[in-house]
Amino acid sequence: MKRPTPGKRDAKESRPPERADQALVTLDNVVFSRGERRILNGLTLHAERGRITAIMGGSGSGKTTILNLIGGRIRPDAGRVVVDGLSVPDLDTDDLYALRKRMALLFQTGALFTDLTVFENVAFPIREHTRLPEDLLRTVVLMKLETVGLRGARDLVPSELSGGMARRVALARAIALEPMIIMYDEPFTGLDPISKGVIAKLIQELNQTLGITSIVVSHDVVETCMISDYAYIVGEGRIIGEGTPKELQRSSSAHVRQFMEGLPDGPVPYQHPASDYLKDLLEERSE
Amino acid sequence: MNAIQQLGAGVLNSVERLGRATLFLYDVAAGSGPLFRRFFLVVQQIYAVGVLTLLIIMVSGLFVGMVLGLQGYNTLVRFGAEESLGLLVALSLVRELGPVVTALLFAGRAGSALTAEIGLMKATEQLAGMEMMAVNPITRVIAPRFAGGIIAMPLLAALFSAVGVLGGHIVGVGLLGVDAGAFWSQMQSGVDFRDDIVNGVIKSVAFGVTVTWIAVFEGYDAVPTSEGVATATNRTVVYSSLAVLGIDFILTALTLGEV
Ligand SMILES: Nc1ncnc2c1ncn2[C@@H]1O[C@H](COP(=O)(O)OP(=O)(O)OP(=O)(O)O)[C@@H](O)[C@H]1O
Ligand SMILES: [Mg+2]
């Protein structure tokens, strides 16, 4: 499969200070806790306008949490979350909803409406937010479905779709209102290599043809590096590595190497914080 | 000590949930405005509730009416007052059994389905997805279901009573030989519009609000897992049945006290 190499843009050698100026989304020193647990601890990242930014990290490292912060579903305990110049945690409901009309979040699970057909799922945001006449609406929906190659599946209901198809329908729904930014939560998990390639190509096409700023959250290093312009690696609530995919692959940092090469244990602990293993087992026995 | 602690925690938890349910009710009421422009959303829900409950309500109404006919005749005939059978059946149904039994059936059939539906939408992130599409799930999902339940409930109770009277007629007039003219005329002159019908309607509206409120709240508040949804569904049936019976007592005491 032929894909433009990310190296093309390497020439620009973007560095953090410039990146901050170009940023459509900025997280600055964000701290977030669930109960006692610190999930994010001083995390800073930028997603440049019109680019594909990847956020990689192990399971439970807080990637979905980052997307929820950007979408305004949760508020940080400290730090700034800025999208297109607006401080997300400070928006009131109306302004937040206005901002959300311009951004789309593709859920890990797809989150299609199970009682609506594929067609109606894609039509849903258009019906809710515009007064398009029915024939025009039909055209728009079919165009979106064509983009993801599922025009023929319009009358199916979500339970009749495969995982990969469901994700493409969700993608069609996400672009229905032509957002300025799309966030993809684990777009590749649970898909066969071909479907992964299809989704990767779609993400890239949407980014290039519509100029949609994209944030891809994933732990699929290969696919993600293939399509992204800049990548962050999250661990222990912080960014533990960043750079263009090329730079990351060349990186000598132990953190980065561990993740990029998929080593089971290293500086990033594989374990959820827990008490001593041996002690835990012995305690059980003595009861 | 532990028992006391548990009791305290239980009470705190209940009070907190009641508070949340009240705030939720406020949100739903506040989010209901746009429904007037998009009334078809409510009609869809009334239709859904109707499909679920119509048959069970009619069958139950018929049998309850027939039983009332049998039991009523048996008692009345001892006083030679079997002509009043129609009145007795109608009053029992309109004032009491219609609203109460309908509400109980409604809770078990439509209420539980509502909770499960909303809970599953939450568990599968459909509600969150809606929020991210800048669509308020309270306005789009909860409010139409709430309004639909409230509108459907009195209609169903009326239907229950009507079918019940028919059942009483079948048994009383058809089987036991009560005079048909007396059956109807006694009913006509004895049932008062304000005291009986309006009271029955008030009851069924109150039950409709209670049951639907509990159902949508439990669904919206459910722990977003399959187990959480099952628990919530269970709760809807138990809580709303208890609430219906309790409120029935209060409303009956109030209306009878006034007479
Ligand atoms: N609703 C919640 N309540 C409590 N803790 C939560 C909740 N959601 C997430 N967490 C915790 O926050 C941490 C980060 O979760 P998050 O979903 O952001 O991880 P992730 O990086 O997206 O993982 P994955 O790759 O598995 O999706 C997890 O350790 C999890 O235990
Ligand atoms: Mg996640």
Distances (CA, A) of B102 to A239, B158, B213, B243: 59, 9, 16, 14
Our answer on whether the CB atom of A218 is closer than 6 Å to any ligand 1 atom is: no
Q: How many residues does chain A have?
A: 287
Ligand 2 centroid to A183 CA: how many Å?
Answer: 12
| Contact list, A103 vs chain B (CB under 8 Å) | 132
Our answer on whether the CB atom of A62 is closer than 6 Å to any ligand 1 atom is: yes
CB within 8 Å: A100 and B132: yes
In a domain, A165, yes or no: no
Residue of higher predicted confidence among A264 and A109: A109
In a domain, A135, yes or no: no
pLDDT over 60 (residue A11): no
Torsion of CA A26, A30, A34, A38, to 10 degrees: 130
CATH number of the CATH domain containing A86? 3.40.50.300
pLDDT over 70 (residue A6): no
> What's the pLDDT band for A267 if we cut at 50, 70, 90?
low
Q: What's the number of domains chain A is made of?
A: 1
In a domain, A142, yes or no: no
Per-residue model confidence as pLDDT tens digits over B30-87: 888 888 888 889 999 999 998 889 999 999 999 999 999 999 999 998 998 888 899 9
Per-residue model confidence as pLDDT tens digits over A232-249: 988 888 888 888 888 888
In a domain, A58, yes or no: yes
Residue B67 confidence (pLDDT): 95
- Residue A129, classified by CB atoms within 10 Å of its CB into exposed (0-12), middle (13-18) or buried (19+), is middle
Ligand 2 centroid to A59 CA: how many Å?
Answer: 7
Model confidence, pTM: 0.85
In a domain, A276, yes or no: yes
Q: Are A112 and A147 in contact (CB under 8 A)?
A: no
Ligand 2 centroid to A67 CA: how many Å?
Answer: 9
User: Smallest CA–CA separation between B122 and chain A, in Å?
Assistant: 10
Task: Give me the DSSP letters along A178-242.
Answer: --SEEEEESSSTT--HHHHHHHHHHHHHHHHHH--EEEEEES-HHHHHHH-SEEEEEETTEEEEE
Residue of higher predicted confidence among A12 and A53: A53
Per-residue model confidence as pLDDT tens digits over A178-235: 889 999 998 888 788 888 888 888 899 888 888 889 999 988 888 888 889 998 988 8
Ion ligand 2 contact residues with beta carbon within 5 A: A 64
Residue A246 confidence (pLDDT): 84
Mean pLDDT in residue range B7-11: 92
Q: Are A117 and A156 in contact (CB under 8 A)?
A: yes
**Structural domain span for residue A199:** 16-102+179-286
Residue of higher predicted confidence among A58 and B243: B243
Give bridge partners of residue A55 from the DSSP assignment: A217, A232
pLDDT over 70 (residue A18): no
Our answer on whether the CB atom of A235 is closer than 6 Å to any ligand 1 atom is: no
- A13 backbone φψ class: left, alpha, beta (φ>0; ψ -120 to 50): left
Our answer on whether the CB atom of A109 is closer than 6 Å to any ligand 1 atom is: no
Tokens of A119: 């067609």
ipTM of the complex: 0.79
CB within 8 Å: A114 and B120: yes
Per-residue model confidence as pLDDT tens digits over A74-130: 999 999 999 988 888 998 888 999 999 999 998 877 789 988 999 999 999 999 898
CA–CA gap between residue A228 and residue A282 (Å, rounded): 47
Residue A195 confidence (pLDDT): 82
